[in-house]
């Protein structure tokens, strides 16, 4: 099983959008995929099922070794794609101090997922690289970094990569797949220039070729509880995430 964390230093950069639609792209390609909501805000769950706040999930599992995966997994309309909501352990939405010491629980949870026969585990993490997110990164195979295509955001990327480099001291096997530029507006020069600036700033291996456009379709898909690729006019955006999937497969050799 391959575990990929979708991580960012701050919220609002399209992390949940990338997580949902990347998981859908892998599942659609035939890989049995589990999408895990590891953000205490529960954004993935709220996007895909309105009952997520009432379900047991990831944060319950890392505290309760007796909780079985079958008690958390929510199936989707696509046979190869399932999800695990964030769960009900609301204290994880508090301060950084509370968010520590979950390493063994995270590893136990991922072992359950692997034993269940999943090929891919896509994890939407909380913003920041501390606490549970740090423990998730320490137990995962790879990480990708969504970044909004705007000037200030681009300037923060090197700090994020520096922090991930330090995280690799704990998990040397963690592969940084690269930055995924999101909310790209082709008609806005500042947005296009931000993409170019990042490509000039970083080695080509650290910036994904495909970019995610800003599109009202994402809002409409979320309102319906669907990945954007399921929408009637979602073929163009679906192609973007299929491209990202292929890039990731190539980088991971799978």
* pLDDT on residue 170: 87
pLDDT in tens, 203-222: 999 999 999 998 888 878 77
* pLDDT on residue 163: 85
* pLDDT on residue 112: 96
* pLDDT on residue 91: 56
* pLDDT on residue 48: 54
pLDDT < 70: residue spans in the chain: 42-53, 89-101, 224
* pLDDT on residue 120: 98
CATH tag for 2-248 (out of 2.130.10.10, 3.40.50.2300, 3.40.50.620, 3.40.50.300): 3.40.50.300
pLDDT in tens, 33-75: 999 999 887 666 555 555 556 788 999 999 889 999 999 999 9
239-245 contacts, C-beta under 8 A, 24 or more apart: 240/210, 240/211, 240/212, 240/213, 241/21, 241/22, 241/24, 241/25, 241/210, 241/212, 242/25, 242/28, 242/29, 243/209, 243/210, 244/22, 244/25, 244/180, 244/208, 244/210, 245/22, 245/25, 245/26, 245/29
Among 83, 19, 93, 86, which residue's Cα sits nearest to residue 55?
86
> pTM for this structure?
0.90
Q: Residues 21, 252, 14, CA angle at the centre, nearest 5°?
A: 30
């Amino acid at each position: 099983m391959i575990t990929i964390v979708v991580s960012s230093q701050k919220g609002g950069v399209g992390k949940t959008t990338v997580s949902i639609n990347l998981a859908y792209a892998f599942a659609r390609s035939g890989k049995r995929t589990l999408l895990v909501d590891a953000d205490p805000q529960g954004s993935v769950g709220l996007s895909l099922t309105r009952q997520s706040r009432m379900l047991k999930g990831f944060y319950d599992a890392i505290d309760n070794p007796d909780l079985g995966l079958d008690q958390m997994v929510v199936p989707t309309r696509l046979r190869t794609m399932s999800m695990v909501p964030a769960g009900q352990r609301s204290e994880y939405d508090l301060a950084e101090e509370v968010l520590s010491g979950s390493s063994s629980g995270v590893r136990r949870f991922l072992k359950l997922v692997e034993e269940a026969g999943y090929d891919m585990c896509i994890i939407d993490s909380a913003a920041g690289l501390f606490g549970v997110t740090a423990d998730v990164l320490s137990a995962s195979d790879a990480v990708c970094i969504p970044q909004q295509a705007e000037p200030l955001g681009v300037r923060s990327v090197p700090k994020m990569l520096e922090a991930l480099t330090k995280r690799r001291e704990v998990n040397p096997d963690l592969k940084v797949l690269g930055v995924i530029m999101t909310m790209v507006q082709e008609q806005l020069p500042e947005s296009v220039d931000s993409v170019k600036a990042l490509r000039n700033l970083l080695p080509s291996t650290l910036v994904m070729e495909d970019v995610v456009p800003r599109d009202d379709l994402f809002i409409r898909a979320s309102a319906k509880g669907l990945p954007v690729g399921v929408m009637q006019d979602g073929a163009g955006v679906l192609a973007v995430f299929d491209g990202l999937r292929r890039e990731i497969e190539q980088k991971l050799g799978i």
